[in-house]
């Protein structure tokens, strides 16, 4: 199993794309502007999308994906997310005002889009890969994603600040090999980070000290223009972890 980073920036510009991760060739975790890096045939191959939350930088590519290849598919694209997240998409995105409701196109009986609610801790297994939502702490309903395969586990935090429940969930995954976790702001912007419930270097360093597992740590959602400064502060705050910034185009292989 492999995970390809289509987008991992906290914004856009200068080759940056927002969050989207491709699992093998048929599953997306989040659907930010990173999906625009895929060619037409790759878009058609996507059958499932797991969303961490409904903020625009994580879902903006979803309506365009359906508009581009919906008629080329033999089955609906299935979007998995917490019920509250699906409710936001239903009311504010696929609402016939901001965008057509593809759950009714070309008909309710044969739609291009289907919603599949997932509860925290509930696992969904697809071709030997298990996707499980984990609790996090953001300003809107949100989750992390635990991706498990025979060769080990990977966790993507989505957007979050410190969460005791998330730490406990990580410590309960003995085969955790990779942790992709956000750090959006420098320490000097701690008030903004706290208000928007994102990590800053000192908060992530404190969270890492609570882990009993020792995965490779990859940093995502860095705000554009602040990447180097954030990574410098992280390495000072948490020496010994050897953390690296996630990079667009990077491939992480499990097995």
Beta strands in the chain (DSSP E): 2-7, 20-23, 27-29, 48-50, 77-81, 113-117, 124-126, 129-135, 143-149, 152-156, 176-182, 216-220, 244-245, 251-253
Which H helix or E strand runs over 56? helix 56-59
Beta strands in 33-151 (DSSP E): 48-50, 77-81, 113-117, 124-126, 129-135, 143-149
In the residue annotation, 24 being an active-site residue is answered as: no
Residue with the two structure tokens 């080329």: 72
Catalytic position from the list 57, 101, 159, 175: 57
The number of residues making up the chain comes to 255
Q: What is the DSSP letter of 223?
A: P
Q: Is 119 helix (H, G, I), strand (E, B) or coil?
A: coil
Inter-residue contact 175 to 152 (CB < 8 Å): yes
**Contact partners, residue 18, CB within 8 Å, separation at least 6:** 7, 9, 10, 11, 12, 32, 33, 34, 57, 58, 60
Catalytic residue positions, numbered: 57
């Amino acid at each position: 199993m492999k995970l390809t980073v289509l987008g991992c920036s906290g914004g856009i510009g200068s080759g940056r794309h927002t969050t989207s991760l491709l699992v093998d060739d048929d599953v997306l975790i989040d659907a930010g502007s990173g999906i625009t890096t895929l060619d037409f045939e790759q878009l058609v191959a996507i059958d499932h999308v797991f969303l961490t939350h409904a903020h625009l930088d994580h879902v903006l590519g979803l309506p365009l994906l359906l508009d581009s290849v919906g008629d080329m598919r033999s089955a609906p694209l299935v979007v998995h997310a917490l019920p509250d997240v699906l409710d936001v998409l239903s009311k504010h995105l696929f609402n016939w005002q901001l965008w057509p409701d593809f759950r009714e196109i070309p008909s309710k009986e044969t739609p291009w889009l289907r919603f599949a609610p997932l509860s925290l801790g509930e696992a969904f297994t697809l071709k030997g890969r298990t996707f499980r939502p984990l609790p996090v702490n953001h300003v809107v309903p949100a989750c992390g994603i635990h991706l498990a395969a025979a060769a080990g586990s990977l966790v993507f935090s989505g957007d979050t600040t410190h969460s005791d429940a998330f730490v406990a969930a990580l410590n309960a995954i003995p085969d955790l090999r990779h942790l992709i976790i956000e750090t959006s702001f420098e320490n000097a912007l701690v008030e903004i980070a706290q208000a928007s419930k994102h990590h800053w270097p000192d908060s992530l360093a404190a969270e890492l000290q609570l882990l009993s597992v020792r995965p490779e740590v990859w940093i995502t959602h860095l705000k554009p223009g602040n990447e180097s400064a954030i990574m410098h502060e992280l390495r000072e705050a948490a020496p010994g972890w050897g953390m690296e910034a996630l990079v667009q185009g990077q491939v992480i292989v499990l097995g």
